Amino acid sequence: MDPVPTSPTLSVVLPNYNHAQCVGRAITALLAQERPADEIIIVDDGSTDDSMRVIETFAAAAPAIRVLANARNQGVIPALQRGLESARGKYVYFAAADDYVLPGFFALALRRLEANPDLGLFCGESVLVDGRSDRPFAVRPATRPIARAGRVGTVAVRELLQRTDNWILTGSAVFRRDCIRSSGGLDPRLGSFADGWLSRKIALTFGFFFEPTAVATWVVFPDSVSRRTAREIERAQHFLEAVPALIAADAVFPEWYAALFRERWRFATCRLALQASPIDKSFVLAIGARSTAERAQLALLLSVPGRRLPRLLALALLWYRLRPTSLAALLRTMLALRTVRLVVGFRWGQFRSKTTAPATSAGTDRHR
């Protein structure tokens, strides 16, 4: 009698568009996991470079890899959605072609989720890596939801959202597929925020497990497409109206969250504009100012001579006005991360010594 086939436990969905120089690194890291994925669904989104040759080389040697090819480029969210619809696993990980996972991630995530079957997702921390030098320079989230590994229930999620945000990073999260489905999946109306919306909605509905451990990397290119797109004024103004409206219309989100999200998003995008060289003053004035008086104050600070001082002054004013997160939570996380920096660096170094050379082309890193 033939054995009854079993469904895969973990599915990875990896979209790719013109990442021939770094997608191999992402796939290598996935295949090197102590507890490998049962299936890796790679969705090539109409690449015009050498991506398919690289992907097919890996697929020929790894039976877990399935390749789906879009005839034309449709964007990362449709590519993720296509992969998600093909996934058969109980759990799903949304990968990125220009990032890579660290050793032990999947084993840890599945162990936590199996022990807490009522929770919707697992999330850990990501090491930010400079895409040009391939050196780690920070850890995210900037504010930990809890100090130690543990459950965060739905009531606690609502309370947390009043003080902080952005503590679930898609690149360091594993989701229950049935929770993704019941939460509506990836909404194309939300663009690059679709995964952020989904993670918040699942957390509010089911809760999550947080592990203060680096489980993945987030490779950041200062001139990436996602960062340039985030600083398009018309797109940003549309986002500021459309996304809070969708939040307000969804009963899962607290009634006060739409307004908080709008101010936090103003701050996050203005911070990117202030980090640009030179400072994107027009964006900061258009998105960071909510009145003529605020615009005049920002313009005055941005006219201060020097390179760092106007950035710091404008950032401080925006922080004071928009209050994007709890300062106490931010300081607690910064102090905690100082004690683990050497450990993170060691684990990152161990992994990098086993993988391919770093990517050299600018990527389209996620919108964090």
| Sequence ranges of the domains in the chain | 11-97, 225-322
Name the one residue in this structure whose structure tokens are 């680096």.
214
- Alpha carbon distance, N-terminus to C-terminus of the chain: 51
- Check residue 329 and give its pLDDT: 73
User: pLDDT confidence of 355, banded at 50, 70, 90?
Assistant: low
pLDDT in tens, 80-89: 999 999 999 9
pLDDT in tens, 9-32: 999 999 999 999 999 999 999 999
Token reading at 347: 């684990």
- Check residue 365 and give its pLDDT: 42
Residue 157 DSSP SS3 = helix
- Check residue 333 and give its pLDDT: 72
Domain 11-97 has CATH 3.90.550.10: yes
pLDDT in tens, 202-217: 999 999 999 999 999 9
Task: Report percent pLDDT > 90 for the chain.
Answer: 73
- Check residue 4 and give its pLDDT: 47
Cα dihedral 130→135→140→144 (10° resolution): -160
pLDDT score of 363 more than 50: no
- Check residue 39 and give its pLDDT: 97
pTM summary value: 0.88
- Check residue 231 and give its pLDDT: 64
Residue 146 DSSP SS3 = coil
Helices 257-275 & 281-288 angle (0-180, nearest 10): 170
